[in-house]
Amino acid sequence: MTKFSDLGLSAPILKALAAEGYETPTPIQAQAIAPVLAGRDVVGLAQTGTGKTAAFALPIIDRLAANHRGAGARACRVLVLAPTRELAAQIGDSFRAYGKFSNIGCAVVFGGVPIGRQIKALERGVDVLVATPGRLLDLIEQKKCRLDQVEILVLDEADHMLDLGFIHALKRIAQLVPAKRQTVFFSATMPPPIAELAAKFLNDPVQVAVTPVSSTAERVEQAVIHVDAARKQDLLHDILGDKSISRALVFTRTKHGADRVVKRLAAAGIAAEAIHGNKSQGQRERALEAFKRGKARLLVATEIAARGIDVDNVTHVINFDLPDVPEQYVHRIGRTARAGEAGAAISFCAPDERDNLRGIERLTKQAVPVLETQFSLTTPVPRQPGERSEPRSNAPRKPSRDARRTKRAPMQNKERSAGDRPPERASERAPRQERVAGEERRDRKGNEVWSNSPGPRPARRPNR
């Protein structure tokens, strides 16, 4: 079996690994460390939880320590780009832990916090800068950071950065770093836009790939419960009666949905915290810390926590809402069954989410076992290829909204032709009164109703 000592890493790094309790590299580490250490460009395809942070951090620290020099004011030698604050902070912690015996400095910058402290950390320059693209560009525009001294560029979770709309920021950053550099590119998936982006950043790269994204962790026991959307909260409270769920991640589709779930859990006396994009950085850090320390049994999160949150001993992942993108399901359930442990993933599937479930099953090439509970709906019958999702009903169809808008309103009686009006019976017709010249007609109060008499009409009384 391969050990870290067999990969050519220096003694200070091996000492740091021993202090962290690591002896055996993961498959992605065993494949990536050697080419990164040799200075080659590397493109890695690996999902979250495979140990890819150490796969690029360990050889980078080794290279920096072997040729230690200052980066210069407001500059860095290594730039690591991450899509989220949590992942950036986690990468920074890894560099500090692995480089504590190598005298390597690291700074982390991201949005959501005051920029002043980050500017101060960059004044004298750093060896490693871990950043989110948005805050990095803010620092560059304020002339508080420069990238002309970058020797190694790392893009972590590139596909997630693309999902978050960072493509233009990445292209701009690529123009600011030196053309002569080493580039390490990691992504969980490799769709055409990511492959095109990799081609622009990399030069004759070494390709490494482990655990395709379509495969779910072998130690994760999966289940799906078909439930009405209105009963999901009741179902969640019911399954939390299982004491084996000691630490669970609950994923919702929206930020407001996450807050609503936490509020109802708190009302039921269940400790939970929410983490999503509307939370300040301080709130997110406190929520994550409470979850790590066991003060909160549940962490309710949106997709932002599917990657970049590394918490040990997560026993369960609960998909309160199924993701719209099937690959996100794999990333979500990858937060459990880490470091050789077992875990479970339970998904709630409302009727309008069944297409999402079918997409997940097509991606993973396996059916998710159905779990029956007191809240379960009737399990849908599997469709045949080309079959409609729902049987066609014989009941008259309700006109669409557009059809209702364009449908002409019925004509009023005054618009009907004489032939369309219903015939009046002779008994219902009022006798026609002939007006005689000079005749006047008045009401009971004496006011004139009409007059055929010549001469000017009386002046109209003003409104009061």
pLDDT in the model for residue 313: 85
> What does pTM read for this prediction?
0.65
Residues 250 and 331 in one domain: yes
Q: 443 lies in a domain? A: no
Residues 131 and 232 in one domain: no
How many domains would you assign to the chain?
Answer: 2
pLDDT in the model for residue 215: 57
Residues 142 and 234 in one domain: no
Residue 414, SS3 per DSSP: helix
Backbone angles phi, psi at 37, to 5 degrees: -65, -30
Tens of pLDDT along the chain (464 residues)?
A: 588 989 999 999 999 999 988 889 988 999 999 999 999 999 988 776 678 899 999 999 999 999 888 899 999 999 999 988 888 998 999 999 999 999 899 999 998 889 999 999 999 999 999 999 999 999 999 999 999 999 999 999 888 787 777 888 998 999 999 999 999 998 877 778 778 888 888 999 999 987 555 555 567 899 999 999 999 999 999 999 999 999 999 999 998 999 999 999 999 999 999 988 788 878 888 888 899 888 999 999 987 655 666 777 899 999 999 998 887 888 888 888 766 677 899 999 999 999 999 999 998 889 999 999 999 987 665 554 444 444 444 444 455 454 444 444 444 444 444 444 444 554 445 555 555 555 555 665 566 555 555 555 555 555 55
Residues 195 and 61 in one domain: yes
- C-alpha 44/C-alpha 279 separation (Å) is 32
Q: 409 lies in a domain? A: no
The number of residues in the chain equals: 464
Residues 238 and 161 in one domain: no
Residues 79 and 12 in one domain: yes
Residues 55 and 202 in one domain: yes
Domain stops at, among 209, 231, 248: 209
Beta strand pairing call for 152-155 and 76-81: parallel
Tokens matching residue 152: 């190694």
29: domain CATH number is 3.40.50.300
Class of residue 462 by CB neighbours under 10 A (exposed 0-12, middle 13-18, buried 19+): exposed
Q: 448 lies in a domain? A: no
Q: 87 lies in a domain? A: yes
Residues 250 and 360 in one domain: yes
Q: For residue 294, list its beta bridge partners.
A: none
pLDDT in the model for residue 300: 94
What residue type is assigned to position 395 of the chain?
A
The range of the structural domain enclosing residue 148 comes to 4-209
pLDDT in the model for residue 212: 58
- C-alpha 257/C-alpha 300 separation (Å) is 9
Domain stops at, among 364, 391, 410: 364
pLDDT in the model for residue 319: 96
> Which is it for the CA torsion 112, 115, 117, 120, positive or negative?
positive
- C-alpha 340/C-alpha 338 separation (Å) is 5
Residues 27 and 167 in one domain: yes
**314 contacts 248 by C-beta, under 8 angstroms:** yes
pLDDT in the model for residue 408: 47
What residue type is assigned to position 184 of the chain?
V
Residues 143 and 291 in one domain: no
**265 contacts 293 by C-beta, under 8 angstroms:** no
pLDDT in the model for residue 13: 95
The Cβ-side half-sphere exposure at 421, using a 13 Å CA radius, reads 10
- C-alpha 2/C-alpha 30 separation (Å) is 8
Residues 186 and 122 in one domain: yes
Q: 398 lies in a domain? A: no
Tokens matching residue 21: 């309790």
Residues 198 and 321 in one domain: no
